[in-house]
Amino acid sequence: MRFLFLSLVLVALVGCSDHPIDQFVAVGDSVNSEICSCPAFETEDFCTMPDELSSAEVSCLKRVYDDYSGELDPLVDCFVDAGSELNDCVRSARCDASALETCYGVWEVRLEGCPETTEVAGEQFDACIID
């Protein structure tokens, strides 16, 4: 069961720490920065009006992660690794649209291989995000 991780990968948040949620969000910030440095994307909504997580949302995600770390750790680790690989690919693509499309295709396949978590942990995690 996939939860809000896909959308969270692309959000931006200032700062990071050793907490897995901060690492997860920092990878999204880095990918977003790389993409938004490309002239073809700098006017896109996700670059001009980033959908950042609030500090309350991040705190909630951390609490849920801490409560369900045994269940969420493999999934979050997989998403952080996939996001890091995406960031490296995007950087290497040097704003080439075709290469960027390939990067995202590889990223999506990588995410599909990430482990799933329990429904309870996923629902608690999703409940932290205010739409």
Which residues form the domain of 102? 5-127
Q: Residues, the chain, total? A: 131
Longest CA–CA span in the chain (Å) reads: 42
With beta carbons less than 8 A apart as the criterion, state whether 30 and 72 touch: no
Amino acid residing at 96 = D
Q: In this structure, what token pair is assigned to residue 76?
A: 């979050």
Q: How many domains would you assign to the chain?
A: 1
Q: Give me the pLDDT at residue 14, please.
A: 35
Which has the minimum average pLDDT: 45-49, 88-92, 112-116?
A: 45-49
- Give per-residue pLDDT as tens, 44-83: 887 887 677 888 999 999 999 999 999 999 999 999 999 9
Per the model's pLDDT, the better-predicted residue between 44 and 12 turns out to be 44
pLDDT at residue 16 is higher than 90: no
The pTM of the full predicted model, rounded to 2 decimals, is: 0.79
- Which amino acid is located at 56 in the chain? A
| Residue 60, amino acid | C
Contact 36, 42 (CB under 8 A): yes
